[in-house]
Structure 1
Amino acid sequence: ISREMLKSNRMSGDLPLNINIKEPRWDQGTFMGRAQHFFMVTDPRNVLMSSEVLEDARVTVENYRLGIMKPGLTEDQLWRAKYIYDSAFHPDTGEKMLLIGRMSAQVPMNMTITGCMLTFYRTTPAVVFWQWVNQSFNAIVNYTNRSGDAPITVNQLGAAYVSATTGAVITALGLKALTKVSIIGRFVPFAAVAAANCINIPFMRQRELKCGIPVTDAEGKRLGESSTAAQQAIVQVVVSRIGMAVPAMAIPPVIMNALEKKAFMKRFPVLNAPVQVGLVGLCLVFATPLCCALFPQKSSMKVSSLEPELQERIRQNNPHITTVYFNKGL
């Protein structure tokens, strides 16, 4: 973009065309900056956006990148459009994501599923059913928020789904059989979810581990695909997901254990599930963005840590590059 064009835009009161909306609005080098970014990305209200609003945001963002701007567009409106766009479209493929797989659906979906897992933990059929529901949802989320643009086959999806669901159910039932104390029994769903995350995410993203994910320079130029980067990305996502589950699955059981002894809850046991779901939702509103912010979305690693053949290729073509970047997924 020429200096004359930028100067002309400023003089006419139009927005300059040099705002970098490929990157988040806040500094991603700090935890607080990442937290502000993810509070926007995971805002549950984004789930309610109509197709027309999403399409308008997509057009605004893509046109701005091409140097085309709506008359009267302000910087705040541009950033709002960028975050609406980011909440619904995949960063690597540009495809509209499945509604319940979007990060903005995490709080309402997880509060319902987790609340029910924590409420209906006493019988084996209930444990099996809610672990199955949870892993079905996780499979959709992990597929929707995978890193890279490589397709995944139906067989790979099926294998990942069956492995994660089986792992979660076996863990939950095994721990339930070993647990006789009421308060400890309430933590069985968390242990099962943590174990399942360690299975579900790597399986759902196994293609990335085999074929690698795109790595770029600081400007976004693609340098190749790296399985080592995929391993780092998946470990970070597993840690974040388990971290998200900790407050939502550890705090409500303690509160509910105390509440259920009160006369009021004994008189109205029907309130058990709604109160549990509400407590989980309160925890998730904060835990989801804060745990997403544990690691930068645009993750990085030293060229010297990549596979030898990719190191060699980068050093031959771009000898000045010492660090590569990649989308870790969510």
Structure 2
Amino acid sequence: MELGGFDIDAPRWDQGTFMGRLWHFFSITDCRTALLPDARLDEAKALVESCRAGTLPPGTTKEQLYYAKKLYDSAFHPDTGDRMNLIGRMSFQVPGGMAITGFMLQFYRTVPAVVFWQWVNQSFNALVNYTNRNAASPITPKQIGVAYVTATSTALATAVGLNLYTKRAPPLVARWVPFAAVAAANCVNIPMMRQQEILNGIAITDENGNRLGHSQKAAVKGITQVVISRVTMAAPGMTLTPPTVTRSCLFVPQRITFLHGPLQVMMVGVLTAEPTAKPLLPFSVFSSMAVSKLEPELRDAIVSQHGDAVRYVYFNKGL
């Protein structure tokens, strides 16, 4: 098959449509890829790099390239090309996030349980946020530590405070406390973990990938989109699961309490599954911004060099 001109870096599906984003996120969050050995992932990376260099092995098919790209996108950072840690990969988000969220919803009655599971969740989130950051903006170990402590403290304060406040409220209200804590922590965890991007800006390019400079406004826009998407993805599972388990006997009789935990984990997986929630938002891994919205100095520099040829800039906002 003739593969000349095949763009390995272009998404397989149109990211401007819901179905295109749906298939794209189904691909990169396929939890089966998290089980593959490093050697298989490295083979996929080698094939992707061969395609970029125009030196494909004879007999390579388009389907082989698409599968190699799927593995590459699931396990390697788009900025550095380095293999990401397993827990921070998007392919681990469905099983990992599903289990932790289910446990947060199940164990909410006592302060020690709230503290423990919020700590586990924020530790998980901190690792995910760091792994999927824009790697062009380095962050020091001290900044990572401050971000982690701040986000974890925010989640714990919100969860414990609301948990105590709702002691006399209906049981259903108390079961929504974990979502409030997760939402509050995301608003702190992500910006703090990626503070260097806000302070120093992130790399922006034209539509052909030519670097044009660094923009703080692009960083703020990208991180804001990430925060919105994270909170929105958590909302269905963490708000709809409690009333279903609390009030419904459709799946499990209320007296069989030991099955409520597994049921909540399953429901969270269905309602909060990342591949189906993320496409609902018009945000892909890469975002764009009008040149007119950039910082005045950067905007003037781009206009003076390129005139009206560059109307939009593009950047990796992370996930």
TM-score over 0.5 for the pair:
yes
**In the alignment, which residue of structure 1 is the partner of 2:93?**
106
CA distance in 2, matches of 1:16, 1:112: 42
CA distance in 2, matches of 1:111, 1:34: 21
- Number of paired residues? 315
- Conservation of the 8 A alpha-carbon contact between 1:15 and 1:73: no
Counterpart among 232, 240, 246 of residue 221 in structure 2: 232
Q: Percent identity over the alignment?
A: 53
CA distance in 1, matches of 2:63, 2:45: 16
**In the alignment, which residue of structure 2 is the partner of 1:198?**
187
Does 2:268 correspond to 1:276?
no
Deviates more, 1:295-304 or 1:124-133: 295-304
CA distance in 2, matches of 1:69, 1:328: 30
CA distance in 2, matches of 1:29, 1:282: 24
List runs of 5+ in structure 1 lacking aligned partners: 1-13
**In the alignment, which residue of structure 2 is the partner of 1:119?**
106
**In the alignment, which residue of structure 1 is the partner of 2:236?**
247
Deviates more, 1:165-174 or 1:28-37: 28-37
Q: Indicate the SS of the match to 1:99.
A: coil
- Conservation of the 8 A alpha-carbon contact between 1:148 and 1:213: no
CA distance in 1, matches of 2:64, 2:13: 16
CA distance in 2, matches of 1:167, 1:263: 34
**In the alignment, which residue of structure 1 is the partner of 2:17?**
30
CA distance in 2, matches of 1:139, 1:313: 36
- Residue 274 of structure 1 deviates from its aligned partner by 1.4
- Conservation of the 8 A alpha-carbon contact between 1:240 and 1:292: no
CA distance in 2, matches of 1:41, 1:207: 26
Amino acid at match of 1:236: Q
Deviates more, 1:292-301 or 1:190-199: 292-301
Amino acid at match of 1:243: T
CA distance in 1, matches of 2:251, 2:303: 67
**In the alignment, which residue of structure 2 is the partner of 1:214?**
203
CA distance in 2, matches of 1:181, 1:111: 26
Aligned ranges 1:1-330 → 2 under 5 Å: 14-179=1-166, 180-259=169-248, 264-266=253-255, 268-285=256-273, 287-291=274-278, 294=281, 295-319=283-307, 320-330=309-319
- Residue 45 of structure 1 deviates from its aligned partner by 1.2
CA distance in 1, matches of 2:279, 2:153: 26
CA distance in 2, matches of 1:15, 1:100: 38
Q: Indicate the SS of the match to 1:318.
A: helix
Give deviations 1:57-86, integer Å, cap 9, x for gaps.
000000111011122211111011101101
CA distance in 1, matches of 2:215, 2:240: 39
Give deviations 1:30-52, integer Å, cap 9, x for gaps.
22212211111111111111112
- Residue 265 of structure 1 deviates from its aligned partner by 4.0
- Residue 198 of structure 1 deviates from its aligned partner by 0.3
- Conservation of the 8 A alpha-carbon contact between 2:235 and 2:272: no
